[in-house]
């Protein structure tokens, strides 16, 4: 085998291997998700609380991106498959918030609800099995108008979560259901050549979840 034929063969093997690995990674991305179910276990004012949040693949970044935890509770953000909501609740109520996990190009977010009962009130847990002595009055439902996040909030969130290096422009759709954000991310073409990849994201205006991602056609050849 002459030298030109040898070089050509090595190059073909390298490209084929790279494409196979890229397809496998892209396939894995579709299944990257938070597996913990909602609602979370009830808590009670003055009682220590702890519950895990799990993802089906190791995540490098975790956080709360919509809503807030009950006062007195905090969320650990260590890299890995599991993080915990822990602490001692101080204020009763019904709370809703979203947890996100990020691992390179992979991103997932899930909304959770958590009820905190007042100190001394009956709650359904393994530690309290006696029925309540007083009647439970159902809460009055109110019509809540969803709050639309501002474009500056969305832009700051995308940069903080490393979805974009910078936001070039952001616009609201005509039906006011989605933001379209455009920008770029720094990457390495074929593992070592520095490049910038154009990215377009569709974001839900209410909860801030990313609903669609568009990249340059050659983006599968880069690593971030």
Asked if residue 56 belongs to a domain, the reply is yes
Domain match, 184 and 219 both: yes
Whole-angstrom CA distances from 213 to 95, 96, 116, 193, 219 are 30, 26, 36, 23, 12
Q: Is the pLDDT of residue 113 over 90?
A: yes
Average pLDDT over residues 134-141: 67
Please write the tens of the pLDDT for every residue from 33-64.
899 999 999 999 999 999 999 998 777 788 99
Report in angstroms the alpha-carbon separations of 177 from 126, 128, 205, 206, 222: 42, 43, 6, 8, 31
Residue 110 contacts residue 98 (beta carbons within 8 Å): yes
Residue that the structure tokens 């990249």 belong to: 215
Residue 192 lies in a domain: yes
| Domain encompassing residue 176 | 151-223
Which long-range contacts does 210-215 make (Cβ < 8 Å, 24+ apart)?
A: 210/107, 210/109, 210/163, 211/178
Residues 26 and 83 in one domain: no
More confident residue, 17 or 160: 160
- Find all residues with CB under 8 Å of 187, minimum gap 6, and list them: 194, 195, 196, 197, 219, 222, 223, 224
Instruction: State the pairing for strand pair 43-44/106-117.
Output: parallel
**Number of domains present in the structure of the chain:** 3
Geometric angle at alpha carbon 99, from 105 and 197, rounded to 5°: 20
57 and 7 belong to one structural domain: no
Q: What is the pLDDT of residue 65?
A: 86
The pLDDT of residue 2 is: 56
């Amino acid at each position: 085998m002459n030298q030109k034929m040898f070089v050509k063969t090595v190059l073909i093997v390298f490209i084929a291997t790279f494409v196979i690995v890229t397809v496998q990674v892209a396939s894995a991305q579709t299944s990257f998700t938070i597996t913990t179910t909602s609602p979370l276990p009830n808590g009670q004012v003055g009682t220590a609380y702890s519950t895990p949040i799990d993802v089906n693949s190791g995540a490098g970044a975790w956080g709360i991106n919509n809503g807030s935890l009950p006062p007195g509770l905090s969320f650990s953000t260590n890299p890995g498959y599991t993080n915990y909501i822990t602490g001692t609740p101080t204020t009763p109520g019904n709370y809703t918030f979203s947890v996100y996990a990020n691992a390179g190009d992979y991103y997932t977010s899930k909304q959770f609800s958590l009820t905190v009962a007042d100190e001394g009130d009956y709650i359904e847990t393994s530690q309290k099995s006696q029925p309540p002595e007083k009647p439970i009055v159902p809460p009055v439902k109110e019509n809540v108008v969803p709050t639309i996040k501002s474009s500056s909030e969305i832009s700051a969130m995308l940069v903080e979560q490393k979805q974009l290096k910078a936001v070039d422009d952001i616009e609201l759709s005509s039906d006011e259901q989605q933001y379209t954000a455009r920008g770029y991310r720094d990457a390495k073409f074929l593992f070592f050549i520095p490049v910038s990849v154009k990215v377009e994201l569709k974001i839900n205006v209410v909860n801030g979840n990313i609903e669609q991602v568009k990249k340059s056609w050659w983006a599968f050849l880069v690593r971030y």
